[in-house]
């Protein structure tokens, strides 16, 4: 949803925000950084930091992670389909650790916030994802280097509550980064959300989030360049857009092809004309028809960035993502360029976490859009087999050694703060299902949940080594035998993981 205010409304919102912050405790004596285009070099010494009410929990709070304090005038953040509201945000992000009693690295007085997401908003849980947009006093975008990311104005905070290990999303992006163009960067943060009347305490602590770059067009995000409209012919004229395949959106420019829904991510809704929307639908429609209706056509290699499709299919199959190529799926094309699969997004229901896809064995992509067509092409299937074998070589992106190293690295980053997160949300470590669509491993600690993810990936990788090597061609993937094996694997459910057979982690939480 685009956040756009009239000049009069922007002026009113700015004055209201300043008044709220002043009521909280004598806000800023000056806000020079708010008038800068790039807020990354904000000098907090230019601010008189307002006093806040810190409970003992907050006074003793210390984290190795960046800490974000979001202050709003309302009692709650708006829902995803509602207008965002103004907020003030303090960013504590110093090397060596962060305390709420420190002077923040940055104080951003003009931020707009709202919830984001679809299915997670329907879950009866206290942690929900957040969309952040960094603004100036005129409500215009201002760049900021949140968590060391490239300076930009648009970020998301992904709630981790659907994944008891906390590592699935982060692990998937690390696996994808060497392979898929413009994979978003992600980093753990701890977050407080409070209104101006509340103090910093256990109740306003929202736990560990995954701060991420938003998928959007730009030289620091997805470099598709400006839109160029051309007559949709068989060639590669025109382009410069990003699409998301997901549930149909009523508040963003969207269209349907058959039973699939697509939302235009770029160009943004403020600049997207009806002519441009018609062109993007027709332009993507050509690729869609070729992939879905004529997958044996060798023209696929001329118009698709085949490396990106091969890598995306291997990533989705390897992590066994239940949403693969159906939801949270992106495609983009620069002007005159081939169609690219990606960037990747949303893996909290992967790696054995989806209720119906818990076993490390069994293929799934032969039932999923795009992959079920493309993998019928013998040439593409051979590339798929060969690339998997390359990615499993020692030191390569999907090798056992890299999987273990990534788990260790992620655990060192999130582990020290995890105890506090699970104290905030103890229901996550109780037996039973927190979300109706997640699996239930009967483990009672953060460390054991991380071991489940590690063991899933290692076991699945070794299973795929043998299963792909044994296939003579696409017909084996689409045989009844492959379907039978997947059914048998899922009948086991979560029983494949046995704590007694799982070695301790190399790095403790």
Give the model confidence (pLDDT) of 382-395 as tens digits.
999 999 999 999 99
Whole-angstrom distance, CA of residue 325 vs CA of residue 336 = 24
Answer whether residue 372 is part of any domain: yes
Pair 405, 411: CB distance under 8 Å: no
Same-domain check for residues 154 and 247: no
Q: What is the percentage of the chain residues whose pLDDT exceeds 70?
A: 88
Whether residue 135 is predicted with pLDDT greater than 50 in this model: the reply is yes
Are 209 and 299 within one domain? Answer: no
For the packed helices 378-391 and 306-319, what is the interaxial angle rounded to 10 degrees?
60
446-466 tens-digit pLDDT: 999 999 999 999 999 999 999
Confirm whether 178 is domain-assigned.
Answer: no
Residues 189 and 280 in one domain: no
Asked whether residue 431 is assigned to any structural domain, the reply reads yes
For the segment 69-76, the average pLDDT, to the nearest whole number, is 93
438 DSSP 8-state letter: B
Say if 219 falls within a structural domain. no
Least confident of 58-72, 113-127, 319-333, 446-460: 113-127
Report d(CA 187, CA 414) in Å as an integer. 9
Domain that holds residue 200: 7-159+185-213
User: What local confidence, expressed as pLDDT, does residue 123 receive?
Assistant: 54
Looking at the domain assignment, is residue 339 inside a domain?
yes
Q: Do both 246 and 367 map to the same domain? A: yes
Q: What is the per-residue pLDDT for 29?
A: 28
pLDDT of residue 491: 87
Rounded to the nearest integer, the mean pLDDT of the chain is 88
Q: What share of residues in the chain are helix, strand, coil (percent, to 5)? A: 35, 20, 45
Same domain flag for 370 and 501: yes
Instruction: For residue range 180-235, list pLDDT tens digits in order.
Output: 999 999 999 999 999 999 999 999 999 999 999 999 999 999 999 999 999 866 67
For CA atoms 89, 22, 97, 446, give the dihedral sign.
negative
**Shared-domain flag, residues 355 and 239:** yes
Q: What is the C-alpha separation between 432 and 419, in angstroms, rounded?
A: 20
> Residue 42's pLDDT band (boundaries 50, 70, 90)?
low
Candidate from 83-87, 481-485, 494-498 with smallest mean pLDDT: 481-485
198 domain-assigned: yes
| pLDDT band at residue 436 under the 50/70/90 scheme | confident
Residue 110 pLDDT more than 70?
yes
How is the beta sheet containing 329-333 ordered, strand by strand? 254-257, 260-266, 241-245, 329-333, 340-341
**In the predicted model, is pLDDT for residue 336 greater than 90?**
yes
Structure tokens at 313: 């299919």
Q: What is the pLDDT of residues 279-335, one digit of tens each?
A: 999 999 999 999 999 999 999 999 999 999 999 999 999 999 999 999 999 999 999
| Class of residue 87 by CB neighbours under 10 A (exposed 0-12, middle 13-18, buried 19+) | buried
Give me the pLDDT at residue 24, please: 37
Specify the number of domains making up the chain: 2
pTM to 2 decimal places: 0.90
Query: The tokens of 308 are what?
Result: 């990106």
Is the same domain home to 200 and 274?
A: no
Q: Tell me whether residue 201 is in a domain.
A: yes
Same domain as 410, residue 266: yes
Give the mean pLDDT of 427-450.
Answer: 87
Q: What is the pLDDT of residue 41?
A: 62
Query: Given this model, what pLDDT does residue 14 score?
Result: 46
Coil/strand/helix, residue 92: strand
The answer to whether residue 225 sits within a structural domain is no
User: Do 294 and 200 have their domain in common?
Assistant: no
**DSSP per-residue codes, 265-287:** EES-TTT--HHHHHHHHHHHHHH
Q: Are residues 375 and 243 in the same domain?
A: yes
- The rounded distance, in Å, linking the Cα atoms of 143 and 152 is 4
Same domain flag for 299 and 384: yes
149 and 35 together in one domain: yes
Which has the higher per-residue pLDDT, 53 or 459? 459
- Give the pLDDT mean for 467-472: 96
pLDDT for the residue 206: 96
């Amino acid at each position: 949803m685009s956040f756009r205010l009239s000049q009069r409304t922007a002026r009113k919102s700015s004055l209201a925000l300043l008044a709220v912050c002043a009521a909280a405790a004598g806000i800023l004596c000056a806000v020079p950084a708010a008038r800068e285009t790039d807020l990354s070099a904000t000098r907090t010494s230019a601010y008189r930091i307002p006093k806040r009410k810190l409970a003992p929990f907050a006074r003793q709070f210390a984290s190795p992670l960046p800490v974000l304090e979001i202050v709003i005038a309302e009692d709650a953040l708006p829902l995803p389909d509602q207008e965002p509201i103004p907020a003030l945000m303090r960013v504590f992000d110093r090397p060596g650790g962060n305390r709420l009693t420190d002077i923040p690295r940055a104080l951003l007085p003009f931020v707009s916030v709202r919830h984001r997401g679809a299915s997670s908003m329907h879950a009866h849980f206290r942690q929900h994802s957040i969309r952040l947009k960094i603004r100036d006093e005129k409500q215009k975008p201002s760049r900021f280097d949140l968590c060391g990311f490239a300076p930009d104005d648009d970020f998301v905070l992904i709630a981790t509550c659907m994944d008891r290990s906390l590592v699935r999303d982060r692990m998937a992006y690390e696996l994808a980064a060497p392979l898929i163009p413009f994979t978003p960067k992600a980093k753990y943060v701890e977050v407080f959300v409070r209104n101006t009347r509340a103090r910093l305490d256990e109740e306003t602590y929202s736990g560990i989030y995954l701060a991420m770059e938003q998928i959007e067009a730009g030289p620091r995000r997805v470099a598709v360049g400006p839109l160029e409209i051309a007559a949709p012919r068989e060639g590669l004229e025109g382009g410069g857009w990003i699409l998301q395949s997901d549930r149909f959106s009523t508040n963003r420019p969207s269209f349907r092809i058959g039973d699939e829904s697509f939302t235009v991510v770029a160009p943004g809704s403020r600049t997207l004309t009806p002519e441009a929307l018609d062109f993007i639908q027709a332009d993507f429609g050509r690729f869609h028809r070729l992939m879905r209706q004529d997958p044996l056509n060798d023209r696929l290699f001329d118009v698709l960035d085949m490396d990106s499709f091969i890598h995306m299919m291997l990533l989705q199959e390897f992590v066994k993502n239940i949403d693969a190529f159906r939801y949270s799926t992106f495609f983009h094309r620069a002007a005159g360029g081939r169609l690219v699969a990606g960037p990747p997004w949303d893996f909290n229901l992967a790696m054995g976490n989806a209720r119906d896809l818990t076993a490390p064995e069994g293929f799934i992509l032969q039932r999923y859009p795009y992959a079920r067509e493309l993998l019928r092409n013998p040439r593409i299937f051979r590339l798929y087999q060969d690339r998997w074998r390359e990615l499993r070589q020692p030191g390569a992106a999907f090798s056992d050694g890299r999987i273990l190293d990534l788990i260790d690295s992620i655990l060192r980053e999130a582990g020290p703060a995890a105890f506090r997160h699970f104290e905030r949300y103890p229901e996550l470590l109780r037996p039973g299902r927190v979300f109706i669509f997640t699996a239930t491993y009967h483990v009672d600690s953060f460390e054991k949940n991380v071991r489940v993810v590690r063991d899933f990936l290692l076991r699945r990788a070794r299973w795929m080594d043998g299963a792909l090597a044994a296939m003579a061609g696409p017909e084996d993937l689409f045989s009844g035998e492959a379907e039978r094996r997947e059914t048998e694997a899922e009948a086991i459910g979560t029983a494949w993981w046995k704590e007694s057979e799982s070695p301790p982690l190399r790095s403790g939480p």
